[in-house]
Structure 1
Amino acid sequence: MWSPLQKRGEVGIPIEPIFRTDPKDYSEEEKAKLKVKGLKEDSIGIYTSFRDLSHDDLEKEVSLIAKSFGIYLEFNRDKMKLTNVKDWIYMIRVPIPGGGPIRPNQWRILDDISNKYTISDAYTGYPLPSLKLTTRQAVQFHHVKKKDLVNVIREIAQSGFLTLNGCGDNVRNTIACPLSKYYIFDSNSLAIKIANYFRLPTELFIQVFEIPVTENIPSEKSFEYADNLLPRKFKIGIAGVVRTTDGKYVIDNCVEIRANDIGVVPIIEEDKVVGYQIYVGGSMGENNSYPTFSAFGLPLGTVGSEDELIKVLDSLVKIQQEWGDRRNRHWARFKYVVYKMGLNWLRERVKEYSGISLGKVREVDLGWRDLHLGWIELGSKWAYGIFVENGRLIDGKNGKIKSMIRYIVDNFDNVRLYITPNQHLLITEIEEEQKEQIEKILREFNYGVRDGKPYTRLRVNSTACVGFPTCKLSFTDSERFLPKLIDELERRGWSDIPVSIGISGCVAQCSRPATHPISWVGSGYELYMLKIGGGKDSLGEPLIDWEENVIYLYQVPANRLVDVTEALFELYEKNKNLGESAEYVFRKLGNKKIIEWLKSNEKTKDLMKPHKFDKKIEGYREYHELLSKRLEEVA
């Protein structure tokens, strides 16, 4: 099919994935994972390393394994730039399947940990302490010091949550629509069941952090991880079902299931869930040094029951575990197995591994994407969705939100909290008689306004990942930059335009920016690449002139993003009759017309210099070629 060791300039650099990699070709990461036997043996001194305070970092092999424990070794990159001192810090991630429920006593523990251990630092650029909510419905603690690591993990465990599977080469936190459980499909409980099935072995984790064994650690049958775990991270998302104002049940794609390695969508007939459709091969991440690509998941087939679903999920993860590239991490995601080997091949492997023949692909509408904000009626009770800008729960310009949530959980023991897949926070189980009290609290803590003005449509619909200063993969700012970009766009009069913006500090694209009509991806320090045309049916892509084989707006300076974004807003306004959303408008116009518009616009014409970037263009060209082949197999 292809030669994995074809050369492109450099001897020995493979230009294609090496599936079923020979162990002699394993990467350093794979060899390190093998040493701990699938997180079952401490053969590299993990216990000792966490307690060795003679240095603030971790040994390389330990830092690789620590990811599966939910721990990232980082350093303050702002401080490094200014002082040339590598100030080692840690990010700790707590996976919460389906986003919850989080009981008040559990939230108090997490909030206390943030107050105690997330260090205030002049170099952070935002107020601390803080809690960071993620697009994968997890909680992150930033700026934790090594001396506090063991205590933080132990105190998190007291809440009933564990940090296992928070990071690393395993099945990550299973995400799901947080409100679907209140209608006809409990996606939350299914997410918890799947997460428990794919949880890593707990014995070594308990030993390293000296955690008392609790009933919260499941002991039922679970997935059998290989000694070197999975080739890369693996993400599963479950769409939900919500009811519209006219009483109709619709699929809620708040999780953006096609951005996951596996997406699960309930099939509804006569207001009942009668089965599940499975999507495979989604992933945002790419690599600028190789012809990689972002990809949307494709429909593989259907199953008729939850038991069949678990068996098929098991087989798909096993296929990735066996076939995924273990030499080249940039080609190790499941999407490359899916897109290069094909859907028919994958269906055959699923039958071989699970004994289940998948049913035919069904036509499913994934167009409804609810942010779950404001008041939501849930039968006799209510929920209120709190907008948390970029997931950073702090007391800042958007009100004293962190203190407000703490006040609510201290005074309303009946409520349950859920993190949404868009980094917001839901307060559920609110009684009718409590609504007025909640509204009063919102006002008292200045929720709903930024600098004295109500949150705008543009701000609420846009999102960013963490970026600088803590994410070591990030090229530049995202979380700290987007609010300032929105401020300026609002000042220019674009507050209520129905176009959202996604920003990521690097090509990992953790905030799923390419699912927005306009997205900016870090391509250097204070430089961003435009991706255009993302939405429910397609991912945003670089502004490529396919005939000239060049990219435009690959490295736009941070102070010029507002000009390009405004020019794109103007283009949308002139052509909004072409489609029902900005995604369709930009797709209908096509790259040629967008390039012509930006070349003729006074605000942007000086930026429109072609960039020759063969690897990036080659990756996306291959994606389109493979996508055409795979769509033929969908039928």
Structure 2
Amino acid sequence: MATATQNEDHTRSAPVENLSKNEPLKVGSNYLKGTLIESLANASTGSISADEGQLLKFHGSYMQDDRDLRKNRRAHKLEPAYSFMIRVRVPGGVTTPEQWLAMDEISDTYANGTIKLTTRQAYQFHGVIKSNLKQTIEDINLSLLDTIAACGDVNRNVMCNPNPYQSKHHAAVLELSKQISDHLTPKTPAYHEIWLSDEAGEKFKVTQEPEPIIGDSGDEVEPIYGKTYLPRKFKIVVAVPPSNDVDIYAHDLGFIAIIEDDKLVGYNVTVGGGMGSTHGNTDTFPRLAEVLGFCTPEQAVAVAEAVVSVQRDFGDRKVRAHARLKYTIEDRGLDWFRDQVEQRLGYKLGEEREFAFEDNGDRYGWVEDEDGNWHHTLFVQGGRVLDKGDFRLRTALREIAKVHTGDFRLTANQNLQIARVTPEKKSEIEALLKEYQIDATFERTALRLNSMACVALPTCGLALAEAERYLPDLISQIDDVVEEAGLAEDAITIRMTGCPNGCARPFLAEIGFVGRGPGRYNLYLGGGFSGNRLNKLYRQDIKDSEIVDTLRPIILDYAQNRNEGERFGDFVIRKDYITATVQGSDFHANLRPDVVAK
């Protein structure tokens, strides 16, 4: 197995001036501590420095400002309306009712009164001001959740299928998600020192065991990451066929549960997926993960560390836009990567086992498991849990959490599952769903139920266009066409992001929108319904006012001329609206002649 010392030697082999600016910052941060303590104590500004902002990401937070207010505040010579987004890790997406109530209270006490359910099964808070940042993170830890490694150049929240219809296997994949998450959590004491009082520190066990390794120089050393951590962020998921709700092919590392004779025998291991790209830079592209091999359940954690360590040692630390695992594998090849992993494991991976995915969406409503318990999946538009006018989703879920004896499961599609509802509690929870009118999935088209959007404006500093605030209205307009075509009950995946970083995984959608500028988007078509194929650029820089008129003839054509059982993404390829994207390196190739670069 690779060691932290190997990592440090590898990083030092490149001259500092050739490394991206984040690399020496990490080395000099004293294992992510930097000057964050001093900066948090500075009450003269609501901001922190750019370098501190990079380190803060490793602790689970980003500094943001309200872009709706920028112009006005600039006119009055005020600094931007700075606040902080905090992301809460939830391995496997499972939390208790008590933890839900704690998140609900935090959203009111310190944030903007809403809870964001992310596309990676995490909670997210927005609008936390600097003076409340420490107390908010401590309160999160007191609920037995944490924020460390929710962002930054490390492994982030480990996802798994909520799996309401194969419950006996959910326990196993959830346990694997937690084991991998714990194993790959940074061991730096900086998180404890900066954010936690003695009471919270006693509850925060991840960084207490094992003890940090002491290096030859007497410094504390990260046993897996070393001083430089990873070249870029790293994402891991666990899927259970036939559901690909976690979008296994979009992630750096994935484990596909193989069930034979109703027994979980192991996992197909996938590597090299990733969504991010950069407008105008054809050297960047989304990429699908590939199957590396097969491992047993007992081998999975070791496989995860081996994959991470290879990326740690060979990922590009010079160009951050080229630093993800997908480019390491694209440049060096899957066979080379497999050989590196197997060298560190000391054994060979097995041959890929047979599996099949059917979709990458959620299954709404009630599902009974083999133990007689019930699971109810709710649609949450944009993942935003809030009260707005007569729509009181947050209040409803608070009341449900007070009586619920099972758990809550955050899905990879920004939705929420009220899980393990006992037969005795089912009628009580059904009554609350009806009282607050949050269970009306029959009033929503299948298009809306298969939609997803990133946060984008006004808080995300990378957003070029709207997403979460705009997509619901756009779907309402497209729904008119969908209903005219008789497709209201036909699922089509539709996703929107405000920039090409791909947080809502738009490049896997059958209809995908990626922000180019205010009111302008790239329109992509042809993703696979089960998340197994990338889409292709159909229109570049399309105005929001042109979207419905552009999609209308295609949707009507699909309704009239599709083959039996044919999905929308397959149809647009068969009818030559676009060509298929075989792999990420083909993403920018074979575009329609009328898709002109601007």
Fold in common (TM above 0.5): yes
Is 1:557 equivalent to 2:543 in the alignment?
A: yes
SS at match of 1:376: strand
Q: Tell me, yes or no, if the aligned pair for 1:404 and 1:441 is still in contact at 8 Å.
A: yes
Which of 469-478 and 355-364 deviates more? 355-364
Tell me which residue corresponds to 1:406: 398
Of 378, 386, 390, the match for 1:394: 386
- Distance (Å, rounded) in 2 between the aligned partners of 1:555 and 1:368: 29
Is 1:54 equivalent to 2:44 in the alignment?
A: yes
Tell me which residue corresponds to 2:143: 159
- Distance (Å, rounded) in 2 between the aligned partners of 1:69 and 1:509: 22
Which of 339-348 and 173-182 deviates more? 173-182
SS at match of 2:254: strand
Query: What amino acid sits opposite 2:205 in the alignment?
Result: I
Q: Tell me, yes or no, if the aligned pair for 1:578 and 1:585 is still in contact at 8 Å.
A: no
SS at match of 1:183: helix
SS at match of 2:64: strand
Residues 369 and 20 (structure 1 numbering): CA distance in 2 closer, same or farther, change over 3 Å?
farther
- Distance (Å, rounded) in 2 between the aligned partners of 1:140 and 1:477: 18
Query: What amino acid sits opposite 1:53 in the alignment?
Result: A
SS at match of 1:184: helix
Tell me which residue corresponds to 2:236: 236
**Within-5 A mapping of 1:122-521:** 129-179=113-163, 182-185=167-170, 186-212=172-198, 213-218=201-206, 219-220=209-210, 224-240=224-240, 250-290=241-281, 291-303=283-295, 305-378=296-369, 379-396=371-388, 399-412=391-404, 414-449=405-440, 454-494=443-483, 495-521=488-514
- Distance (Å, rounded) in 2 between the aligned partners of 1:458 and 1:368: 14
- Distance (Å, rounded) in 2 between the aligned partners of 1:327 and 1:269: 44
Of 73, 79, 83, the match for 2:69: 79
Query: What amino acid sits opposite 1:355 in the alignment?
Result: G
Alpha-carbon distance, 1:82 to partner: 4.9
Query: What amino acid sits opposite 2:414 in the alignment?
Result: Q
Alpha-carbon distance, 1:359 to partner: 1.4
Alpha-carbon distance, 1:398 to partner: 8.3
User: For each residue in 1:144-178, what CA deviation from the matched residue of structure 2 results, as whole angstroms up to 9, or x when unmatched?
Assistant: 11111111111111100110011111001000012
Of 507, 526, 539, the match for 2:534: 539
Alpha-carbon distance, 1:306 to partner: 2.4
Q: Tell me, yes or no, if the aligned pair for 2:572 and 2:578 is still in contact at 8 Å.
A: no
- Distance (Å, rounded) in 1 between the aligned partners of 2:446 and 2:549: 19
User: For each residue in 1:114-142, what CA deviation from the matched residue of structure 2 results, as whole angstroms up to 9, or x when unmatched?
Assistant: 011123xxxxxxxxx10000111000001
Query: What amino acid sits opposite 1:332 in the alignment?
Result: A
Q: Tell me, yes or no, if the aligned pair for 1:372 and 1:426 is still in contact at 8 Å.
A: no
User: For each residue in 1:207-229, what CA deviation from the matched residue of structure 2 results, as whole angstroms up to 9, or x when unmatched?
Assistant: 01133323552314895112111
Residues 483 and 608 (structure 1 numbering): CA distance in 2 closer, same or farther, change over 3 Å?
farther
Residues 300 and 22 (structure 1 numbering): CA distance in 2 closer, same or farther, change over 3 Å?
farther
Residues 220 and 79 (structure 1 numbering): CA distance in 2 closer, same or farther, change over 3 Å?
same
Is 1:91 equivalent to 2:82 in the alignment?
A: no
Alpha-carbon distance, 1:500 to partner: 2.3
Tell me which residue corresponds to 1:15: none
SS at match of 1:466: coil
Residues 184 and 513 (structure 1 numbering): CA distance in 2 closer, same or farther, change over 3 Å?
same
Tell me which residue corresponds to 1:70: 60
TM-score (norm 2): 0.87
Query: What amino acid sits opposite 1:519 in the alignment?
Result: G
Q: Tell me, yes or no, if the aligned pair for 2:361 and 2:450 is still in contact at 8 Å.
A: no
Alpha-carbon distance, 1:64 to partner: 0.4
Residues 398 and 233 (structure 1 numbering): CA distance in 2 closer, same or farther, change over 3 Å?
farther
Query: What amino acid sits opposite 2:596 in the alignment?
Result: H
Residues 19 and 608 (structure 1 numbering): CA distance in 2 closer, same or farther, change over 3 Å?
farther
- Distance (Å, rounded) in 2 between the aligned partners of 1:479 and 1:19: 42
- Distance (Å, rounded) in 1 between the aligned partners of 2:417 and 2:578: 42
Structure 2 portions without partners, runs of 5+: 1-10, 212-221, 581-591
Residues 93 and 398 (structure 1 numbering): CA distance in 2 closer, same or farther, change over 3 Å?
farther
Q: Tell me, yes or no, if the aligned pair for 1:475 and 1:522 is still in contact at 8 Å.
A: yes
Alpha-carbon distance, 1:231 to partner: 0.6
User: For each residue in 1:164-214, what CA deviation from the matched residue of structure 2 results, as whole angstroms up to 9, or x when unmatched?
Assistant: 011111001000012267223521111011100110124111101133323
Residues 560 and 211 (structure 1 numbering): CA distance in 2 closer, same or farther, change over 3 Å?
farther
Of 552, 559, 571, the match for 1:566: 552
- Distance (Å, rounded) in 1 between the aligned partners of 2:534 and 2:491: 18
SS at match of 1:529: strand
- Distance (Å, rounded) in 1 between the aligned partners of 2:516 and 2:363: 32
Query: What amino acid sits opposite 2:340 in the alignment?
Result: R
Of 543, 551, 563, the match for 1:577: 563
Residues 286 and 188 (structure 1 numbering): CA distance in 2 closer, same or farther, change over 3 Å?
same
Q: Tell me, yes or no, if the aligned pair for 2:141 and 2:203 is still in contact at 8 Å.
A: no
- Distance (Å, rounded) in 2 between the aligned partners of 1:152 and 1:229: 26
Q: Tell me, yes or no, if the aligned pair for 1:38 and 1:227 is still in contact at 8 Å.
A: yes
Alpha-carbon distance, 1:592 to partner: 5.6
SS at match of 1:463: strand
- Distance (Å, rounded) in 2 between the aligned partners of 1:434 and 1:472: 43
Q: Tell me, yes or no, if the aligned pair for 1:350 and 1:356 is still in contact at 8 Å.
A: no
User: For each residue in 1:311-344, what CA deviation from the matched residue of structure 2 results, as whole angstroms up to 9, or x when unmatched?
Assistant: 1211110111111111111100000011110111
Alpha-carbon distance, 1:393 to partner: 0.5
- Distance (Å, rounded) in 1 between the aligned partners of 2:60 and 2:330: 29
- Distance (Å, rounded) in 1 between the aligned partners of 2:491 and 2:243: 19
Q: Tell me, yes or no, if the aligned pair for 1:226 and 1:321 is still in contact at 8 Å.
A: no
Alpha-carbon distance, 1:19 to partner: 13
State the number of aligned residues: 549
Which of 131-140 and 259-268 deviates more? 259-268
Alpha-carbon distance, 1:356 to partner: 2.1
- Distance (Å, rounded) in 2 between the aligned partners of 1:205 and 1:115: 24
Query: What amino acid sits opposite 1:31 in the alignment?
Result: P
Alpha-carbon distance, 1:274 to partner: 1.4
Query: What amino acid sits opposite 2:401 in the alignment?
Result: V
Alpha-carbon distance, 1:366 to partner: 2.1
**Within-5 A mapping of 1:102-117:** 102-117=95-110
Of 589, 592, 601, the match for 2:575: 589
Tell me which residue corresponds to 2:589: none
Structure 1 portions without partners, runs of 5+: 1-17, 120-128, 241-249, 544-552, 595-606, 614-635
- Percentage of matched positions with identical amino acids: 31
Alpha-carbon distance, 1:105 to partner: 1.7
- Distance (Å, rounded) in 1 between the aligned partners of 2:205 and 2:551: 48
Which of 430-439 and 152-161 deviates more? 430-439
Alpha-carbon distance, 1:562 to partner: 2.1
Residues 518 and 370 (structure 1 numbering): CA distance in 2 closer, same or farther, change over 3 Å?
closer
